[in-house]
C-alpha cells in the first residue's frame, strides 16, 4: 500500500518564483533520495510532506488521507506517531541527557513505548555507555547517532532526514547512510533523504532530482 503520495505540489515564497515539485509515490520500505542544490526546495518539500507548511497548490496524501484536510490536532498526532525526523540542526536539548532526549519523542507524541525499546536501540547504535551524558559531552558522531535514535524510537512509518551527511567526511557519511538504512529496514519504514551531497547517490536506486525535476530510477 502507498504510504505517502503527492499531487501537483507547488509553494510560493514571498519575493521569489514559485517552486513546483514532481509527484512522489512512496511505499513502506522505499529508500528515496531527494537530490538538488541549495535553493531547489529540498527543505521546503520536506516541510510540506510533514504537514508543517501548507502548499499553495496540490495535495499530500498519507495512507490515502488528504493530510491538509485533517484538523491540526490530528495532523500533529499522525506526525508524532508515524514520522521520524533527522534535522539538519540536530536539536538535542542541552539540559537533557541522551536517553532523555530520545524518550522525549514518545512523551511529545503521547505514545507509550515498549519497556526495552530504548535499551535495545542504545545497544544497537553503540550508545549504551553514553545514555546519561548530556549532548555537550558527546562527540559529533555520537550526537548524530542520538538524533537518529530519537527519530526511530517510535518505529515510525517514514523517516525523513535533511542533509544528514553534508558536514561529514566520506567515511562518516557512509556510516550515517548505512545507519539510517539499517534502522528503516529494522522497522519496515520508508526512508526519505534530502541532500545536495552527490557522494551518496550510489547508495540509492530511487533518486528524485529537484534541480531538473526529473526522477531517475537506476
Q: For the segment 141-160, what is each residue's pLDDT rounded down to a tens digit?
A: 899 899 999 999 999 999 99
Q: For the segment 33-83, what is each residue's pLDDT rounded down to a tens digit?
A: 999 988 889 999 999 999 999 999 999 999 999 999 999 999 999 999 999
| CA nearest neighbour of 196 among 217, 169, 165 | 165
Domain boundaries, the chain: 32-53+72-217
Q: Do 214 and 39 form a contact (C-beta atoms < 8 A)?
A: no
Of the pLDDT bands very low, low, confident and very high (cuts 50, 70, 90), residue 177 is: very high
Assign a CATH topology to domain 32-53+72-217: Rossmann fold (3.40.50)
DSSP character at residue 70: S
* % of the chain residues with pLDDT over 90: 67
Evaluate if residue 217 carries a pLDDT over 60. Answer: no
Phi, psi dihedrals of residue 159, rounded to the nearest 5°: -110, 125
Give the pTM. Answer: 0.89
Report the distance separating Cα 145 and Cα 92, nearest Å.
Answer: 11
Amino acid at each position: 500500500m502507498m504510504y505517502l503520495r503527492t499531487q501537483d505540489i507547488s509553494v510560493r515564497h514571498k519575493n521569489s518564483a514559485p517552486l513546483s515539485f514532481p509527484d512522489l509515490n512512496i511505499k513502506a520500505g522505499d529508500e528515496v533520495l531527494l537530490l538538488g542544490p541549495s535553493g531547489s526546495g529540498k527543505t521546503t518539500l520536506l516541510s510540506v510532506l510533514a504537514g508543517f507548511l501548507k502548499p499553495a497548490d496540490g495535495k499530500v496524501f498519507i495512507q490515502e488521507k488528504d493530510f491538509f484536510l485533517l484538523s491540526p490536532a490530528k495532523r500533529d498526532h499522525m506526525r508524532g506517531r508515524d514520522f521520524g525526523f533527522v534535522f539538519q540542526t540536530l536539536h538535542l536539548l542541552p539540559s537533557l541527557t541522551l536517553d532523555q532526549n530520545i524518550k522525549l519523542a514518545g512523551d511529545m507524541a503521547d505514545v507509550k513505548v515498549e519497556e526495552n525499546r530504548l535499551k535495545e536501540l542504545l545497544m544497537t547504535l553503540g550508545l549504551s555507555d553514553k545514555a546519561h551524558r548530556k549532548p555537550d559531552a558527546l562527540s559529533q558522531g555520537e550526537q548524530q547517532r542520538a538524533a537518529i535514535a530519537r527519530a526511530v524510537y517510535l518505529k515510525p512509518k517514514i523517516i525523513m532526514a535533511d542533509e544528514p551527511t553534508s558536514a561529514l567526511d566520506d567515511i562518516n557519511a557512509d556510516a550515517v547512510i548505512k545507519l539510517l538504512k539499517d534502522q528503516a529496514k529494522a522497522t519496515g519504514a520508508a526512508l526519505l533523504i534530502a541532500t545536495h551531497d552527490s557522494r551518496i547517490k550510489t547508495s540509492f536506486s530511487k533518486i528524485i532530482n529537484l534541480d531538473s525535476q526529473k526522477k531517475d530510477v537506476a
